[in-house]
């Protein structure tokens, strides 16, 4: 009963914030607000917030934000696109003082070079429409901002694509790009009833942490190879790679890949070999001219 009352209190407080600030959840900004106290505490516990520098994407009404601050984050920077949350964020800043700040900005366009600290942990109930571009952006810019970990709520289907095993229908570009230099773990599944308004889909909280050793590879070439290999999933890898106007058969032979298999049956090491050999072939061809 105590649990139920506490859960109800959280739901009320979110409803009160929505009412007080006359917030109308905007679908196009993925505004499904978390009210479930148990889920909020699980996210914050699993993120090990204490003494960490945290960035939260999309604080919205700020319930997760306050929970992060109550769990003794060293600092918290919130990045929110929708300025209708600004009054609420200002209130949080006046309550919590110097270790909280916020920016009104679109995180997809945000220039992370501006940030001075390193080793941030990202914690976010991400808006569905930007979850994939956000994750790919952060993976790309880790040399600019060497973040420590990301604890993210994403659509269940996105979590499944990121954690997919080779030779399954979800295995593809996203799984490969994320797993190249990171470990990914599913932490918990979240039902639509944990949000106001309820989304149509289930969600999953995932943890993405960089591997100790970064693979030495030209990531632009690697990305291009993976994209080309998956351009038509049902086609043989040889046929997809023919678009690159190189000797595909020798590229695949050098890389120890059967030209008749599909991209979904090639593991990350296989893509690494194709990508490195492709770079070599291109260099050799230039030298011939």
Q: Please give the full DSSP string across 216-250, using - where no structure is assigned.
A: -S-HHHHHHHHHHHTTTTTSBHHHHHGGG-S-HHH
- Mutual orientation of helices 63-70 and 2-20 as an angle, nearest 10°? 120
C-alpha separations of 27 from 32, 84, 99, 129 in Å: 8, 14, 31, 10
Size of the site for ligand SAM (CB under 6 A): 22
How far apart CA 62 and CA 85 sit, in angstroms, is: 9
- Of 82 and 279, which has the nearer Cβ to ligand SAM? 82
- Of 154 and 178, which has the nearer Cβ to ligand SAM? 154
Least distance between ligand SAM and beta carbon 166 (Å): 31
The stretch among 73-81, 113-121, 139-147, 225-233 that binds ligand SAM (CB under 6 A) is: 73-81
20-39 residues in contact with ligand SAM (CB under 6 A) are 29-34
Give the one residue of 55, 68, 130, 252 binding ligand SAM; rule: CB under 6 A.
130
Least distance between ligand SAM and beta carbon 49 (Å): 15
How far apart CA 288 and CA 159 sit, in angstroms, is: 45
226-245 residues in contact with ligand SAM (CB under 6 A) are none
Asked whether position 155 contacts ligand SAM by CB under 6 A, the answer is no
Q: How many CB atoms lie within 10 A of CB 45?
A: 12
Give the one residue of 59, 122, 154, 226 binding ligand SAM; rule: CB under 6 A.
59
- Of 79 and 225, which has the nearer Cβ to ligand SAM? 79
Prior bond of 197 cis (ω within 30°): yes
Token digits of residue 91: 């209130």
Interaction site with ligand SAM (CB under 6 A) = 29-34, 57-60, 63-64, 79-82, 106-108, 125, 127, 130
């Amino acid at each position: 009963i105590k649990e139920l009352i506490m859960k109800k209190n959280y739901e009320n407080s979110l409803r009160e914030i929505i009412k007080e600030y006359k917030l109308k959840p905007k679908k196009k900004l993925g505004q499904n607000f978390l009210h479930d106290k148990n889920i909020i505490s699980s996210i914050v516990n699993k993120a090990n917030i204490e003494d960490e520098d945290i960035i939260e994407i999309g604080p919205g009404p700020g319930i997760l934000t306050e929970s992060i601050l109550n769990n003794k984050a060293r600092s918290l920077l919130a990045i929110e696109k929708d300025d209708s949350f600004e009054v609420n964020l200002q209130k949080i800043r006046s309550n919590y003082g110097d270790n909280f700040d916020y920016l009104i900005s679109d995180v997809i366009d945000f220039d992370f070079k501006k940030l001075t600290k390193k080793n941030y942990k990202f914690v976010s109930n991400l808006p569905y429409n930007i979850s994939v571009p956000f994750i790919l952006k952060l993976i790309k810019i880790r040399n600019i901002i060497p973040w420590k970990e990301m604890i993210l709520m994403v659509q269940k289907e996105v979590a499944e694509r990121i954690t997919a095993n080779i030779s399954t229908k979800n295995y593809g570009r996203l799984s490969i790009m994320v797993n190249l230099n990171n470990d990914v773990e599913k932490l918990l599944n979240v039902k639509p009833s944990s949000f106001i308004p309820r989304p149509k889909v289930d969600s999953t909280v995932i943890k993405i942490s960089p591997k100790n050793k970064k693979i030495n590879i030209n990531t632009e070439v690697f990305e291009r190879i993976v994209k080309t290999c998956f351009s038509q999933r049902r086609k043989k890898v040889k046929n997809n790679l023919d678009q690159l106007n190189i000797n595909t058969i020798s590229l695949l032979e050098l890389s120890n890949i059967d030209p008749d298999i599909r991209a979904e049956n090639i593991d990350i090491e296989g893509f690494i070999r194709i990508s490195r050999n492709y770079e070599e072939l291109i260099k050799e061809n230039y030298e011939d001219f």
